[in-house]
Amino acid sequence: MATQTLSYQRPSSLADSRRLVLETGGGTALRRPTDHPRFFEGWVTRPDVVAEGLRQVAQVAASEFWRRDRFAAGVDPVVTSDGRMLRFESFSLCGGVQARLDLTPEVLNGEVLDRGTTNIDINEPLRRLLTGVPADGLLHLSVGSDGLVATTADGAVIERRVSLSTRWLRGFAEAQQIASTFELRGELDGRHAATFLTSLPREGRGWVVPAGRGWRISSRAAPGSVHLAGSHRLASMLPLVRHARALRAYGPGVSLGAGPVASAWELALPGVNFVLMLSPDASRGFSGEGAALTALAAGGAVDDAEEIGRLLHHQPRLEPDLLAEQIGMTAGRVRSALACLAVAGRVGYDVTEASYFQRDLPYDAASVARLNPRLRQAEELVAAGAVTIVDDAVAEVVSSDRVHRTRVRADGTTACTCQWWITHRGSRGPCKHVVAAALARDQGPAA
Amino acid sequence: MSAPTMEELLRLVAAVDLAPLVARLDDLDDATRKKLAKPVRELARSGEWGDPPRHLARGLSLLGPAVLPDARATAAWIRRSAGWRHSFDERSFDQPGNRIETLSPTSALVVEVLLRRDPSWLPALVRELADRLRFDRYNPDDYLLIERLRSRAGLPPPAVPVFAAMWVRTAWRSRRNEVDAVALVRAEPAYAELVPLAFEVDEIAGEMRHRDQLRRLADSGTVDRGVLLDALVARLQRGGRPQATNEFVRDLESLAPTLEEVAARTRDHLALLPPGSATSVATLAQHHLLELHSEGRLSPDEVLEMSRSVLARTEKKLLRAQLAHLQAHADAHPADADLSARAVSMALDNAAPDIQRKAVDLLNRLAPRLTPATAALIAAAGDALPSDLRQRLITSLGTPAPKPEAPLPQVELPPPPNPPGPVVPIETVEELVEELASILHSEPLAARGADLDRVVEALPRLGLLDREALRRAAAPVTSAGTYRYYQEHARHLDFTLRGALVALLASCLGDSRVPQATGSGGRLGAPARACCVRIFALADSVRQDPLVRVVALPSQVNGTIAANDLHTRLADAAAQSWSPDPVDLEQALLRLDLAGTQSEPFAALGSAAGRQVSEWVRAGGHRPPTIQVARAREYLDTLNMGSEERAAAKPRSSPMAEVRAAVNDPLSLGPLWSELARWSVPSGGLTVGWAPDDPFETWPLVLPHHPELVAAHLLPELSRARQTRSQGAAALVSLTETADTVGPALLLGLAYLTGGKHQEAWSAATDALLILASRHQLDAQAFGEVLAMMLERGDLVAKRLIIGLGDAARGGAAGEIWTALSHVLSHLLRGARTVVGVVDLLVLAAEVALLTGAQGAIDGLDDLASRTGRTRQVVEARRLLKILDQLPTAR
């Protein structure tokens, strides 16, 4: 559990239902390093949609979907400005849902002041006020404000201490890597999107497949289907569904009879995209999925990530092919490096544009990768000389006084005889023994 | 007096009476505190599991607050030491045995130590403690400690939601005295700020209505009424657990907000209406807003927003209330016709056909009063209506016919399932152990498809090849608890698949202790018992002759064995001088694909097994058993019932499928077929419950050529889908993939799942219906008759059929579903018994009729449609009749 202190100059506010000031704290800004970056000043169209979207992003941050709890406050959302659009992101307390609200240039009419990432304060009174934003006219939006006035009683900034579990931090970061395997699998128009979302059962679970003009939930996976578990986790879309132009479903490729996987759901609104990414099950967070362990354990990926990290300047899109050309790496290495950066909380992945974007999580980002327990334990096993390479495929790893045999199958997948693998059968990434074997192989005979 | 040393403090900490310790702690100076902090912390972790030694725990809970340097460290200590301070001996109870909620003596001493120390950070400590407080309905000691500390230090109550909730829970509900919340707040006005904060805590929902305390607080002016209303509305906007949300709704209702108060919060109420809020919340908001509208206090935009939000929901009660209100308003205020019509038109986008129809009816009435602009707007909004409703709307509005509707997409059925793939035998001991362990250690037992058979086949084969290698590889299994448990309980072993697998592994490893099958299988279904019988028999055979190998491994994942494969295995057996286990051979025969199989090659093998297969092939396998629908009375547990309850209890009965072996079967009954080819309703009643160790997904592989028979055994499990989550749904879908013909058992199973309570059931039913339809094997008429029979007998709820059947129709099986539905409706409309939910079937039938272009008549529909009155049933019957009569032109 890590405690982070989020500091704001004053609470975010909404004056006259027309002037929304979102206070910022921490993070990074490209043009002018500051504790309270200013990213945008101007007008937004569709004020009711923007206000409701922001409210739902904050709601997800305060939700614990597994226990169906919704608290007054969660971890403050993160906003990223890439000079073109604003992305507001939050991550549920249970670690199984990520929400993102993209304000595209279609609704933004003002000046983008800077690029970077920071926390924004969406407090409980503001959340309530956001419900009162009328649909007509324009809304003046300030993301960040000048730091001249301190309105708290003691004249100091507002400090909010939040406890961030390592699971939460890792989940937020690893969800990006999982999303990078997704592709668009289906789309509904606004009317059928409303029908689908409002008719979902409370605890719906299954595979979403087309049925006529709409979708239905099937009991088993088929190519092209998208997994949905814990359909109540899509409830944040319901207040917005009246404005929907389309609903799009994204997921990884699956074969017939596949097991649960994560998915992403995009509600296309006028000038705004609201995206929810769901873990494979309401009881599972993203942190345990082991999404990037293979990449992290791959030799050289961390060094490549450092090199690519130096090239990040809050570009709107990070194209692996362009980056590969720029630094003379193969596209595959660049992708592995981007996976490492995602796990380190330095880049996000936008499924709607199928591209990475820079987003340095305004937390102790360096600790995110370090905190991966399986990787850490695997490194400890290698350091302790617990790994014996038997042949190209098989290795023996001594752990807790037991010998576990890991092997690489003909199809490239891995397996182990440990209890963890037996329980999950590879559905949550490699176990620490498989990772240790991979690390030992990379290090050569000396290991 | 000099500062105490650690040794001296240790003696005092260990004492039963802690008063001397409290007194001696007064002599601590800052330097000594600093010196003692580390050893005190270490002492607190020096016991078992990182806890303090038990005899020191109470005293240590006092020592921390005396020496720790700041508020955070002290708050963490007090929180951690909560368990050390509580002792059963210190609890007080009143005469009836209720616990008296008072501060425990040790916690009181903690407060005493802190007050005597009087650090400058005491206010910060109170806040820290409040921040760390957890709501505990049954043990308020932590709250009482904070309360005592802050009141004696003269500090205001911390404005923290959980603290406020604990204050409400503890101070308002004293068991000994009638506590008046109004008097409490008047005595300490700072508490007024805490009352609205308590709404943040789910667990406090409803507590404040106790003896109408919330209402009296508001009415007396002790707590600002507006603040309470705002807090409750904000709480409802936030959402949360349904039960708590419903209680907060009642809290708000208990305050009976006036029209003025609601009007001041119009936008807040509008925000409660869109889909996503709880039904109770939306109902309350709708009620208040409709009142405002009736009083003319909503702007046109607000009326439209309200209607848009409500009419996007799915709760029929809310939808009808909204439409009824708009209708009444339009009647009372003819001048508002345009606004009313625009509000009603929001319902045209609703997915429920009956709501669309009701909206069209209402718009038809309003049409003569509408301006051309509004009429055009509404005509455009009706673009996506079903063709019959759209036609009616356009006709009444008198607007030009819109552009022709895009034709309904030709929804194609999904292609028939691909041919089943081959079963690949396990090659290495590592893979074998991975698969075996994943089955043995799964909870509940999970064995997918042919995985179980692959493991059973590989164990004797790879064990014979290199027993030591198998033993080494199997160490994760043999050293685990499951294996040891079954070894140690070998003589009292339950008859389960886990036990059978352990027995086979033990035999293959040559272990001396091999579990024996001593049970009957309990409530395991016959296919699962057949699996166990075979594996236990194999374990015996392998123990007696290690050369024995498995001959029943399926060739394909659907469970069938190709004749060539079986011939090869038996030829190997003859060549290597081992005989297949008889039960395993029977399983192989039950799986043998007889199409094109000749008996002579098997007879030529010269072995007894070869002759048995030859005879089997010549006979064409067992004669199929007779399967008949019979009603099974559910077992009624009267043991814990009183005499009156027992007399009044009426056990339900459900349709099942009885199985009787064919009398003219030319082949003798083996142990497996004896188990599988009979099932009758138990005379004492049928008991169906959760079966965590029944691997339903392997059942279809036991009898791949008799899916109907497997379905008959599966029915008790599938019947559970009506009340709970059935585990047999996936097995039924697999059976539909292999079935050549669909008999009564499969149809009953489909009906149970279609009428299931949970989405998993009806999703599986839709999958199964689509698979059968794609193979042209769904006898829709027979399915309709089964549904009608079960609806009439009350075995199914009509409303629950709507989603499964509707999805199947929209997924491409509209023709089959129309046939089934028309048969269901014919039976129900002609039947003497009234079935609840017929109207929902009529609505679905109208939708499916439009999808299929159905024409013709449904028995009884004319009579229903010609009844007088405008009940929903009659109106929907008329609409369906009209669609069936007019469809060619309507489309």
For the segment A422-431, what is each residue's pLDDT rounded down to a tens digit? 778 878 888 9
Predicted confidence band of residue B403 (pLDDT cuts 50, 70, 90): low
Q: Select the residue of B238, B351, B473 nearest A199 (Cβ to Cβ).
A: B351
* % of chain A exceeding 90 in pLDDT: 40
Instruction: Using a pLDDT cut of 70, give the percent of chain A over it.
Output: 92
Strand partners, A161: A5
More confident call, B649 vs A182? A182
Q: Where are the domains of chain B?
A: 257-406, 422-550, 554-621
Sheet strands side by side (includes A108-112): A13-15, A19-22, A139-143, A40-44, A108-112
Find the residue in B nearest to A58 (Cα): B238
With CA atoms as reference, report the closest residue to A7 among A103, A130, A118, A153.
Answer: A118
Q: Is B216 helix (H, G, I), strand (E, B) or coil?
A: helix
Number of C-beta neighbours around residue B167 at 10 A? 23
Residue B518 has a pLDDT of: 65
**A residues 80..119 contacting B (CB < 8 A):** none
- Measured between CB atoms, does A424 come within 8 Å of chain B? no
Check if A255 contacts B (Cβ < 8 Å): no
B758 and chain A in contact, CB less than 8 A: yes
Residue A386 is predicted with a pLDDT of: 93
Would the CB atoms of B811 and A216 count as touching at under 8 Å? yes
Q: Min CA distance, A195 vs chain B (Å)?
A: 6
The answer, for B729 touching chain A at a CB cutoff of 8 Å, is yes
Decide if A417 and B312 are in contact by the 8 Å CB cutoff.
no
Q: Which residues of B touch A216 (CB under 8 A)?
A: 763, 766, 807, 810-811
pLDDT of residue A148: 47
- The answer to whether A241 faces chain B, any CB pair under 8 Å, is yes
Contact by Cβ (8 Å): B378, B341: yes
Which parts of B755-871 fold into alpha helices (H)? 759-774, 780-792, 801-808, 814-830, 838-852, 861-865
Q: Could you tell me the domains of chain A? A: 2-164 (3.10.150), 176-287 (3.10.150), 292-370 (1.10.10.10), 373-443 (no CATH)
pLDDT, one tens digit per residue, over B663-686 is 888 888 889 999 899 999 888 888
Please report residues of B whose CB lies closer than 8 A to that of A394: 430
- pLDDT at site B762: 95
Position with higher pLDDT, A4 vs B682: B682
Mean pLDDT across A199-204: 88
What pLDDT is attached to residue B397?
A: 87
Reference A339, options A217, A179, A183; nearest CA is A179
B738 pLDDT higher than 50 = yes
**Cβ contact (<8 Å) for A219 and B733?**
yes
Q: How far is CA B547 from the centre of its chain?
A: 48
Best mutation site among A63, A93, A242, A433 for testing chain B: the one with the most B CBs within 10 Å? A242
**Closest CA–CA distance from residue A292 to any residue of chain B (Å):** 24
Mean pLDDT calculated for residue range B475-493: 75
Smallest Cα distance from B511 to chain A, Å: 21
| Nearest-neighbour CA in chain B from A27: distance (Å) | 26
Q: Is B411's Cβ below 8 Å from some Cβ in A?
A: yes
| B859–A contact, CB cutoff 8 A | no
Between chain A and chain B, the number of residue pairs with CB atoms below 8 A apart is 150
Name the percent of chain B lying above pLDDT 90: 62
B384 and A191: CB-CB below 8 Å? Answer: yes
What pLDDT, on the 0 to 100 scale, is given for residue B90?
A: 67
User: Burial level of B504, CB count in 10 A (0-12/13-18/19+)?
Assistant: buried
Residue B856: Cβ within 10 Å count = 9
Cα of B177 to nearest chain A Cα, Å: 33
What is the average per-residue pLDDT within B591-612?
94
- HSE-up of residue B31 (Cα within 13 Å, Cβ side): 2
Strand bridging mode A78-81 / A387-389:
unpaired
d(CA B569, CA B554): 12
Residues of A within 8 A of B766 (CB-CB) are: 216, 218-219
Residue A375: per-residue pLDDT: 83
B778 pLDDT above the threshold of 90: yes
Residue A5: exposed, middle, or buried by beta-carbon count in 10 A (0-12, 13-18, 19+)?
exposed
User: Which of helix, strand or coil describes residue B42?
Assistant: helix
Residue A317 banded pLDDT, cuts 50, 70, 90: confident
Asked whether residue B180 carries a pLDDT value surpassing 70, the answer given is yes
B382 part of contact set with chain A, CB < 8 Å: no
Average pLDDT over residues B71-84: 90
Please, are residues A418 and A399 in contact by the beta-carbon 8 Å criterion? yes
> What pLDDT does residue B91 have?
67
Closest alpha carbon within chain A to B230: A128
Q: What is the structure's pLDDT at B889? A: 38
Mutate which: A218, A396, A421, A433, vs B, most B CBs within 10 A: A218
Q: Cβ-count burial of A402 within 10 angstroms (0-12 exposed, 13-18 middle, 19+ buried)?
A: middle
Contact list in A for residue B202 (CB cut-off 8 A) is 69
Residue-wise pLDDT for B641-655, tens only, equals 788 888 887 778 899
Mean pLDDT estimate for chain A: 85
Q: What would the pLDDT profile of A37-55 be if each residue is shown by its tens digit?
A: 999 999 999 999 999 999 9
Of residues B308, B434, B760, nearest to A219 (C-beta): B760
Does pLDDT of A157 surpass 60? no
How far is B1 from chain A, CA to nearest CA, in Å? 41
What is the pairing mode between strands A139-143 and A19-22? parallel
Of residues A331 and B628, the one with the higher pLDDT is: B628
Which of B241, B762, B807 should one mutate to test binding to chain A, selecting the residue with the greatest count of A CBs within 10 A? Answer: B807
Question: Quick check: B301 contacting A, CB < 8 Å?
Answer: yes
* pLDDT, position A156: 44
- pLDDT of A232-267, one tens digit each? 999 999 999 989 999 999 999 998 888 899 999 999
- Could you tell me if B760 lies within 8 Å of chain A, comparing CB atoms? yes
In this complex, do A238 and B267 lie within 8 Å of one another by their Cβ atoms? no
Nearest chain A Cα distance for residue B810, angstroms: 5
